[in-house]
Structure 1
Amino acid sequence: MSGITFVQGDITTQHVDAIVNAANSSLLGGGGVDGAIHRAGGPEILAACRELRASHYGKGLPTGRAVATTAGRLPARWVIHTVGPVHSRTEDRSELLASCYREALRVADELGARTVAFPAISTGVYRWPMEDAARIAVETVRQTPTSVEEVRFVLFDQRAYLAFLAQEE
């Protein structure tokens, strides 16, 4: 991989091969990044997710796994949906969070994607502490063998952007 970049902005406007969606296990849309991607991408994404639910993922997508669909009206070719873990103070779920990034990169490789945009997975309603999430995300992407040439972390606000930028060193 030639590079990791960090930008503050809206992931739904990124001109990349694949956008990663911090999905919920139902794959049928939700709040935060998931809702924004479904709204901006249009009904094609939801239709593709419904097909996945009707075939391979009748009980939903398991935490830490990833699957791709069309990107609909987004300026990307694909959306890679991954389900992050809910943060827990009593159980270490770091490996599940790392798996989201590894699995998304594996799917990106299968698709032939060269540029991938990631959000800060599990940091919204799943309450993962931002600094820890940034560390896990960047370390995992650096350590995962991939044909992806650019991983772009697209952070919604300045707090997230600065937490991820601090991982650059």
Structure 2
Amino acid sequence: MPRVSRTQAAQNRELTIQAAARLFRERGIDHVSVQDVMAAVGLTHGGFYRQFKSKDALVSEATRYAYTSMAASIGEVESSIGDHHAAQQAYIREYLSAAHRDHPGQGCPTAALVQDVARTGTADTRHTLAEGVESLARWLDSGDQDGLVTACTLFGALLVARAAEGTPLADQVLERVGAALTQAR
């Protein structure tokens, strides 16, 4: 089989990181194998080790990618709305939505990965998670509300809503916490 070009190798690497970020958020780090990630992008398991030293290295890069994507999305919301306070309100409503609850693969990396990172994360992945949380907290900070408290409230509410899937509590948590956070601002 012929070797791929450097350009194609770089594209394959980026696709692998994107797929891993989605799969890790959907299923959890421990429930996604290297083979699962490579199959998701249509590549062989053997090609993985030409791109990454280990699964831990991929976890770290995928986590960084997920936070970078989240920050870009927040920036887009703020740019389209044009007002920081209104963008915060919109973000909180979207974060505490049924769509976010039901589609973790495209959602917040903290809510999806915090348990796995706490149990088995490398120092690099823990650092990336901490930076992501701190960045979101700074963006959510307002004169009336501490951004770290708001961020952690969002994470916890989403985790409870996901865990209570199929019960009335799943929707109640999203509605009540969302109302409390947006009224407090």
Instruction: Give the structure-1-normalised TM-score.
Output: 0.27
Q: Which has the higher strand share?
A: 1
Instruction: Give the structure-2-normalised TM-score.
Output: 0.25
Q: Which has the higher helix share?
A: 2
Give 1 or 2 for the bigger CA radius of gyration: 2
Q: Which structure carries more relative contact order (alpha carbon 8 Å, separation 6+)?
A: 1
